[in-house]
Structure 1
Amino acid sequence: MTDTALIVIDMLNRYEHEDAEALVSSVRDVLPSVQELIKRARNAAVPVIYVNDNFGQWRSHHGELVESALAGRRPELVEPILPDENSLFVVKARHSIFYETPLSYLLRQLGVQHLVLCGQVTEQCVLYSALDAHIRHFDVSVAPRTVAHIDPELADAALRMMESNMSTALVHPDELAFNDTKA
């Protein structure tokens, strides 16, 4: 058993929002690393938890959100990282993975103490999630090659803030050893 979980943030995206085109290039760059990280976590039996915006579809379940993302403008950015039958799923309404969600309870039930965050957007949802994880006393790791951004300068600043203000470990994806009790 591991005390680590991989959190995939907002990767099930229709790419139909105002900043989508600025984000798409970065998502393309990080997608292979995110895909590999998910694969490694699954192979090590580490919980993979998708935490995703609900696109205002409050009656939706995760299957409908997946279908919606696949029907959006960039299905090629969604298909490689789809949840499998063992993936867990939490719907969020705002930036943080914790805000008004049952994620904290789920993580405690799983015995998770360490979160590996990947996904989008570095300077928004990833940053706020790292802060909320920190104040909830979770250890956090982020591999910069697995988080996509809209604004590269803000993303760099966000990563520096995570590291210096929130004790987030910034690591290369290969350094995340999911077989250990702490990645």
Structure 2
Amino acid sequence: MTRTVLIVIDMMNTYEHEDADALAPSVQAALPAMQDLLKRARNASVPVIYVNDNFGQWRSHHGELVQAALAGRHPELVHPVKPDEDSLFIVKARHSIFYETPLAYLLSQLEAQHLVLCGQATEQCVLYSALDAHIRHYDVTVVPEAVAHIDHELAHAALRMMETNMTVAIRPLGNVTFDDPP
């Protein structure tokens, strides 16, 4: 049996950056699918790992990041998907969820083999994270309805690249289950 984890990328966001106005509508559209994935993963006792940018605040821990995001410009985009008390949380400084983070070690401790990715932004952090997962031999699924983008065309190209070049399963929300292998 393949051990699956759900990874939520960069959803604790203050939306106080140059791409925020382009990103926010896509996040709003992706929220219902993200909430559905979170609910189903938690109901199936699948580990949920939030991997989030630290916004250059090297003193920040996850509680500070969540509070900053809830106090930011769009708390309505943060509150529905904020971590619960059982969620795991890793802080990152660059685009990939793996780059200089303890994620690989955590995944080995969880005996994870299959990663379901959701979050933002498809053409940046999701793409780079999927590539890094692929080169580490993880099975990866991306749910297109549960990832947000800044640029629609680049996001579409990123999903195609993930599927074609990285063997990422691009699966509609209705086709993702947490009780079956990928």
Question: Partner of 1:65: helix, strand, or coil?
Answer: helix
Q: Which amino acid aligns with 1:103?
A: L
Q: Compared with structure 1, are the counterparts of its residues 2 and 64 closer, same or farther at alpha carbon in structure 2 (3 Å cutoff)?
A: farther
Q: Which amino acid aligns with 1:173?
A: L
Q: Which amino acid aligns with 1:62?
A: H
Correspondence for 1:170? 170
Which segments of structure 1 move beyond 6 Å, counting only runs of 4 or more?
none
Correspondence for 2:22? 22
| CA–CA separation in structure 2 for the residues paired with 1:179 and 1:158 | 27
Question: Partner of 1:45: helix, strand, or coil?
Answer: coil
Correspondence for 1:63? 63
Q: Which amino acid aligns with 2:6?
A: L
1:177 CA drift (Å): 1.1
1:175 CA drift (Å): 1.1
Gaps of 5+ in 1: none
What is the correspondence of 1:66-145 to structure 2 with a 5 Å cutoff? Answer: 66-145=66-145
- Superposed CA offset, 1:146-176 (max 9, x none): 0000000000000000000000000011211
- Superposed CA offset, 1:95-136 (max 9, x none): 000000000010011000000000000000000000000000
| CA–CA separation in structure 2 for the residues paired with 1:113 and 1:122 | 21
- Superposed CA offset, 1:64-96 (max 9, x none): 100000010000000000100100000000000
Contact preservation (8 Å) 2:98, 2:132: yes
| CA–CA separation in structure 2 for the residues paired with 1:179 and 1:154 | 32
| CA–CA separation in structure 1 for the residues paired with 2:62 and 2:174 | 29
Contact preservation (8 Å) 1:120, 1:148: yes
| CA–CA separation in structure 2 for the residues paired with 1:2 and 1:167 | 17
Correspondence for 1:46? 46
Correspondence for 2:33? 33
Contact preservation (8 Å) 1:122, 1:148: yes
Contact preservation (8 Å) 2:27, 2:77: yes
| CA–CA separation in structure 2 for the residues paired with 1:70 and 1:2 | 35
The TM-score with structure 1 as length reference comes to: 0.98
| CA–CA separation in structure 2 for the residues paired with 1:152 and 1:165 | 20
Question: Partner of 2:132: helix, strand, or coil?
Answer: helix
Correspondence for 1:158? 158
Q: CA RMSD in A?
A: 0.9
The TM-score with structure 2 as length reference comes to: 0.98
1:2 CA drift (Å): 5.9
Gaps of 5+ in 2: none
| CA–CA separation in structure 2 for the residues paired with 1:72 and 1:31 | 17
Contact preservation (8 Å) 1:2, 1:46: no
| CA–CA separation in structure 2 for the residues paired with 1:146 and 1:125 | 14
Contact preservation (8 Å) 2:2, 2:113: no
